[in-house]
Structure formats: C-alpha cells, structure tokens
Amino acid sequence: MTVIYLIHPSGILEGPVELPIVPGLGTQLPFNALELNKVLPPARVGHTWCVVNGVPEELADLRGEVYDTTTGEPSQFTQLGDLPEGLTDIPRPTPTHRWQAGAWAQDASSLHAAKTADINGQCEGAITTGFWSSALGARHLYSSQLDDQLNLMGVIVSGLDSPYACRDEQGVKAFRPHTQAQVRRVWDEFTLFKLQLLQRANNLKQQLDLALAVGDCDAMAAVTWSDSQS
C-alpha cells in the first residue's frame, strides 16, 4: 500500500492525503503529488519534510524573522534549511550584546559606553529640570536650562537689583523682585545643586570603571542613576 503526499510550491510535503476516485479512471495523481511506500515519521521540532531532488528530506524550518549577528537588525527569512552564516533566529537582547561563539553575549566595553552615556544624560537632565532656592525667604523653584543659567549670570554681572522669574510652592510663576544679594544666593545654591549632581554622576561612573576593569557586566548593569538617588 502506498501513501500520497502533495508538494507545496515551497517544497514542503503536505499529507498524507486521500485522493478521490474518479469513476472509470480510478485515482488520478495531480502533478504535485508524491507517492511513497510508507507514512513519513513526524518531523522534529523546528523541522519539516520537503522534497529535495525528488526525495523526501527533513529540513530545518526557520522561516520568519531572523537577525543579523553583526548588527542585530531583523529581516525575513523565506527559505527552508539551516540559516546561513551571519543570521540567527535569536533576537539580540540589548544593543550592547555581541554575537560570540554562536550566542549573544554581553559586551563589557559596549555596556560601559552605553551606561556612561546614560548617566551623563541623566545628570544633564537633572541639572536642567530646575532647582529650589530659599534666597527670597520662602522656597521658590528656578528654571535651569542653559539659557536660564546664562540669564541668571547676566543679572549677576549687571550688579543691579532685578525682577527674576521663579515659581512659588503653589506653582505660580512670576517675575519677583530680587536684590543683587538674593540673585547671588540663587546662583550659589544652583552651583551647589549642580555640583552635587556632578559628584553623583562621577561616583556612578567610577563604579562603572571598576566593573569594566574586571569585566563584571552584571555589576555594570546594576549601576543606575535612579537607584543612586537619595
């Protein structure tokens, strides 16, 4: 007894199938039929039965999204069989992973560079999101973008009393009168605020340097700006 499989345009075998009997003609094999002596065993996981040179062969079926082992960029793989060199079906976990010995591995230098850049960015963001000063007696929030820093310095250089914008604790922004001494105190408190953030960033980057020196990626991954905040 024979069994019939149908050959999909991709080469994959579908079946076995039962073909209808045509009266007066019997069973008619379509052009894409393959007649075998026995049923094929189930294909292994991740594999499928195909026809190669007219003979059934079990091939890897990795069709779908695959990833470049150099860049990690995804693409679509449409062929049957093993992936060519330079492709994997395993997504890159993070941009700091590199393909090594057939697997993604955390790259210490890349992780160090990425974490350092993140800390620098977080520090700059903290510096420029505003600071509190008690120069007017009650606490007020002052803007600290680069333009704000330059404006504040300009008022100090003028040596004059001046209205200066700030928000009270209810969030109301207004140009409130400042004496020259009060403006200088605002600047001094900003300088201290900024210095503390820079010192915090420097401490974190020293931790990264120490972890890089011994190749400890887990220790580097654990260094974060938010966790360091008191």
Q: Report the distance separating Cα 68 and Cα 114, nearest Å.
A: 21
By the 10 Å C-beta count (0-12 exposed, 13-18 middle, 19+ buried), 82 is classed as exposed
30 CB-near residues (< 8 Å, 6+ apart): 6, 19
3-state SS class at 117: helix
Q: Report whether 128 contacts 146 (CB < 8 A).
A: yes
Residue 229 has pLDDT above 50, yes or no: no
Model pLDDT for residues 146-181, shown as the tens digit of each residue: 999 999 999 999 999 999 999 999 999 999 999 999
Cα 199 to Cα 184, 192, 205, distances in angstroms: 22, 10, 10
53-88 pLDDT tens trace: 889 999 999 999 999 999 999 999 999 999 999 999
Give the model confidence (pLDDT) of 78-127 as tens digits.
999 999 999 999 999 999 999 999 999 999 999 999 999 999 999 999 99
Domain ranges of the chain: 3-60, 64-92, 109-228
pLDDT (0 to 100) of residue 24: 75
DSSP H or E segment with residue 148 = helix 146-158
